[in-house]
Amino acid sequence: MANRLSEDVDKRVLLLEAGGSESILTDIPIAAATLQMTPVDWAYQTEPQEAACFGLINRRSRWPRGRVLGGSSVLNYMLYVRGNKRDYNRWAAVGAEGWSWSDVFPYFLKSEDNRDESVVANGKY
């Protein structure tokens, strides 16, 4: 986001992030589970669930959120998820101007920098 905002040479952007710098472990996707509930994680948990989380302590699920430079990508196995097209369209329908899928999709493509022309052209990925 900061990179996108800073493209305008007339603007200045200050990026603040909680936590410290990443370590060598934060760059290894399979290590993400070992980073949960450590100083690089806000250590959020869900409230006890009545119909889920049966195998978890107190039926509470961990909700990893990054407390490190780079944010939650260090804790989510470096997965990238755009979100559901219907959600964006619903937000636009209730007044979030500029947030429909057709509005945000070009920015997803730009941030992904996918250079496979067949993928970029088909509008699905």
Domain identity same for 29 and 69:
yes
Hey, which bits of 1-125 come out as E strands? 44-45, 62-63
Number of separate domains in the chain: 2
Taking the C-alpha atoms of residue 9 and residue 11, their distance in angstroms, rounded to an integer, is 5
Tell me whether residue 2 is in a domain: no
Q: For residues 38 and 57, state if they share a domain.
A: yes
pLDDT in tens, the chain (125 residues): 777 778 888 988 887 778 888 888 888 888 888 999 999 999 999 999 999 999 999 999 999 998 988 788 888 887 777 889 999 999 999 999 999 999 998 888 887 877 777 766 665 54
Q: Look up residue 68 and give its two tokens.
A: 């490190």
Count CB neighbours of 26 within 10 A: 20
What DSSP designation does 44 have?
E
Give me the domain span that covers residue 111. Answer: 81-122
> What pTM was estimated for this model as a whole?
0.59
CA torsion, points 44, 37, 33, 110, in degrees to nearest 10?
50
Say yes or no: 62 and 97 in one domain. Answer: no
Asked whether residue 18 is domain-assigned, the answer is no
d(CA 62, CA 72) in angstroms, rounded, equals 13
